[in-house]
Structure 1
Amino acid sequence: MNPLATRNSLPNLRHLLAALEVQRLGNITSAANHIHLSQSAVTQGLAKLERELDLSLFERSVNGLYVTEAGEIFLQRAERALTWIKAMEGLFASQSRSKKPRQLLRLLTTSQLRALMSVVEYGSYTLAAHHLKLTQPTVHRAVKGMENLCEQRFFQRSPAGVEPSWQARQLARYASLFFAELSQGLEEVNEFKGQMVGSLRVGSLPLARTRMVPHAVTLLLKEFSQTQVSIIDGPYEEQLHNLLHGQLDVIVGALRYPAPSPDIVQELLFNDPLHVVVRPDHPLMKQRKVSVKALRELDWIAPRENTPAREAFAHFFTNEGLQPPERVIECSSLVAIRGLLLESHRAALLPAQQVEVEVSNGLLAISPWQLAGTGRDIGLTLRKQWKPTRVQARFLQLLRTYN
């Protein structure tokens, strides 16, 4: 879950809307009339929002209100954030029993959003309440209020807790992206103030986590030493889910074809071939040339199914008219692979960069010949229309110049 979504004090959606209207119209009276609030409500809302953000959004004068430079930066993010609330409205527009779809932007609360997100994530009102440091009835009321607004039932009881509907999952995703945009807005304001204390959350796939990502992170921290960096590994599917929910900024590693989601963009950095990796005294290393048939007879360590590396492994043999090897241990952990190779005459198909340290220390050896057709596209996976902060943009630049 996005860190902003767990704060006790969260920006009020109507206050954010009011601030954007004041920015657009230039005075409180016009803004209040447009969003159907009293002038005092808008004035108090702006004051509270500025206190919560510790930020002056506007300069006051006899001629009206003028947005500050820092206010401009944050309100641009706020406008992007509110598009995700509008997306929620679109989700139920055709299903509403009312003559006019309800404007969730003016009715929802950030407390309801974070309650829904937590229940979807944990599958339990009790666990969600514990995570948010609230009582279970409080979380239940917040979700129930959101169900009433959307005229939907979001959860069904199951033996393990509660099971969210697809609408609840989609709402939770939109809510997570809403909070992610606001978090980036606060980071950009800090950048404007010269306080480079932003955050970076990187999903790192096997090749990238060995050298590529650590190298770029090290260089980044030399420039922006206070940046909070999280490097997350795990299955691609899990990382993709986190990226689409705004809980990761970028995934670095092998690209997928076709792209598994219409909401991502993939950027190619380089093509990386795979090599046969064995222990240094493996009989294979004494041969100048090895046939594909002989390679097929080896005991292999291979990546798990449905990964680009495993597909390359299988295609290498099928392209030669042979069935892929059957004596395979599936493993994606380099530590485990190294242990298996050192304890046996097994072979693994890996990128050379991934085992550079082991090879330089004499623990493992790389075959001297290239395996045709085993190259994989390595690059960046990003959310469509994602806008990085200055720190995040610098990290992407470092990755793009890695080679």
Structure 2
Amino acid sequence: MEGESFAASISFQQLRLFESVGRLESVRQGSEECNLSQPAVTQALSKLERQVGFSLLERRASGSYLTEAGKILHLRTRRMFAQLAAAVVAIGGADGVEQASAIVHRLSRSQARALIGIMEHSTLSDAAIALKLTEASLQRSTRDIEGNIGRPLFYRAAVGLTVRPEGMAFGRKLKLAMQEIESGLSELSAMAGGRQRQIVIGALPFGGVLLLADVLKAFLDHRPDADIRVVSDSTSEMIRRLRAGEVDILLGIVQEDDADDLRSERLIETPFCIVARRDHPLDGRPKLNRDDLAGYDWIVGTEGSTRRACFNALFGAGTPPRSSLATSSLTIIRKLLAVSDRLTIITSFELQSEADTLIALPYALDGENPSIGVTMRADWLPTGLQREFLDTVIAVAG
């Protein structure tokens, strides 16, 4: 078993017992804290070790101590429970961390599976089919998690039982927290020379795709066995996927308004420039004004993009020129510019790869220069392989 299916075979109770014994360095104290007998705790931890294929605790007369593998999984387990407690507080299910932790300790994997399943498949009946469970079983789990959290997470609509907006918010954080165990198992697999969890890279338009090609070549030359998936969409969609844990890292133009839950590392400063095809009517003009630029059709960035903001700032004081196309595809932009007198805004980094066909017009754009870099979740802890990928990005950008 690998990845998500492997992590799903480990119960929340096993993880709670492991966290307690590892922290207290004692099966006896762990059993007392979790209100279980010592034999039950020992049996649960032995099963966990068989499942992961590693010895996690070294039993001595003085206590039980984490092995190297145990330290890796214990850190991820602590992070998972801390994130779950924060999610309970955020939804209003508890007044503080202590109360939230007590609620989290009553959470079960079946409760989590019910919420995430209905969230992803829209209704209870569709989730039951997808998860191969009975609707009655799934409904019991929905009642259990609502009773545990003390907040309504579901409502009955015309299509059946579905998830409330606050349930969606909690479910996303729940799903993200559970990824910690998948990352821990991936790190254990790496210790044994096995396959590691897939790295999902979000390539942002304008900069991300071009830099990523060089990064992937360098990284795969060194790590040919790495499993990497690249996804590309609008900036707003990529940020949504990053927050949801569907993407590990974003590569491309760094957003100027970093949110508290995201962090960025700027690597290459790349000014925006106004671009046209070679032999454009404005090509060769020593100086241009805004009226010269407003006389042509424009290709603009999609709503919410830094390119669109730059275009809006350029013509914000007057009537904007015609802009019949909004796109983030450099391929489409390149082809349209080549056969028309349209103008657009791209970064100097992209222009380097298009220098045979495109030129920068002599007009200085106001504002700070954008930067190409990496964006991650603020509390994200990369695995060893993910850290290597980030190091490769920094090296190639340098």
TM-score higher than 0.5: yes
C-alpha distance 101-217 of structure 1, shift in aligned 2 (>3 A): closer
In structure 1, which of residues 385, 388, 392 is the aligned counterpart of residue 382 of structure 2?
388
The offset of 1:165, in angstroms, is 2.3
Q: Is the 8 A contact 2:274 2:346 kept in 1?
A: yes
Query: In the TM superposition, what whole-angstrom CA distance separates every residue of 1:266-322 from its partner, at most 9, and x where no partner exists?
Result: 32223322233333343222434333211111111100222211111222234xx54
1:353 alignment partner AA: F
Partner of 1:280: 278
C-alpha distance 6-371 of structure 1, shift in aligned 2 (>3 A): farther
SS, match of residue 251 in structure 1? strand
Instruction: Please give the alpha-carbon distance, in whole angstroms, between the structure 2 residues aligned to 1:277 and 1:210.
Output: 19
In structure 1, which of residues 344, 356, 376 is the aligned counterpart of residue 340 of structure 2?
344
Instruction: Please give the alpha-carbon distance, in whole angstroms, between the structure 2 residues aligned to 1:212 and 1:370.
Output: 26
C-alpha distance 229-160 of structure 1, shift in aligned 2 (>3 A): farther
The offset of 1:340, in angstroms, is 2.5
Query: Once the two structures are aligned, what percentage of the paired residues are identical?
Result: 27
C-alpha distance 351-233 of structure 1, shift in aligned 2 (>3 A): same
Unaligned runs of 5+ in 2: none
In structure 2, which of residues 319, 322, 327 is the aligned counterpart of residue 323 of structure 1?
319
The offset of 1:143, in angstroms, is 2.3
2:270 alignment partner AA: D
The offset of 1:42, in angstroms, is 0.4
The offset of 1:88, in angstroms, is 4.0
Query: In the TM superposition, what whole-angstrom CA distance separates every residue of 1:66-104 from its partner, at most 9, and x where no partner exists?
Result: 3211111111111111112222443444589xxx77823
Q: How does 1:1-400 map to 2 (within 5 A)?
A: 4-6=3-5, 9-90=8-89, 91-94=91-94, 103-158=102-157, 163-195=162-194, 197-259=196-258, 261-318=259-316, 321-354=317-350, 356-360=352-356, 364-367=357-360, 369=362, 371-373=364-366, 375-400=369-394
Instruction: Please give the alpha-carbon distance, in whole angstroms, between the structure 1 residues aligned to 2:225 and 2:134.
Output: 35
The two structures, once aligned, show a CA RMSD in angstroms of: 2.8
The offset of 1:342, in angstroms, is 3.3
Query: In the TM superposition, what whole-angstrom CA distance separates every residue of 1:235-285 from its partner, at most 9, and x where no partner exists?
Result: 2232222222322222222233332x3211232223322233333343222
The offset of 1:358, in angstroms, is 4.5
1:317 alignment partner AA: F
Task: Tell me the matched-pair count.
Answer: 392
1:381 alignment partner AA: T
The offset of 1:20, in angstroms, is 1.9
SS, match of residue 20 in structure 1? helix
2:341 alignment partner AA: H
Instruction: Please give the alpha-carbon distance, in whole angstroms, between the structure 2 residues aligned to 1:338 and 1:251.
Output: 24
Unaligned runs of 5+ in 1: none
Instruction: Please give the alpha-carbon distance, in whole angstroms, between the structure 1 residues aligned to 2:34 and 2:268.
Output: 51
Instruction: Please give the alpha-carbon distance, in whole angstroms, between the structure 1 residues aligned to 2:307 and 2:88.
Output: 41
Q: Is the 8 A contact 2:7 2:182 kept in 1?
A: no
SS, match of residue 152 in structure 2? coil
C-alpha distance 154-27 of structure 1, shift in aligned 2 (>3 A): same
Instruction: Please give the alpha-carbon distance, in whole angstroms, between the structure 2 residues aligned to 1:127 and 1:354.
Output: 45
SS, match of residue 285 in structure 1? coil
Instruction: Please give the alpha-carbon distance, in whole angstroms, between the structure 1 residues aligned to 2:327 and 2:100.
Output: 51
Query: In the TM superposition, what whole-angstrom CA distance separates every residue of 1:188-210 from its partner, at most 9, and x where no partner exists?
Result: 22233344634322222112333
Q: Is the 8 A contact 1:6 1:132 kept in 2?
A: no
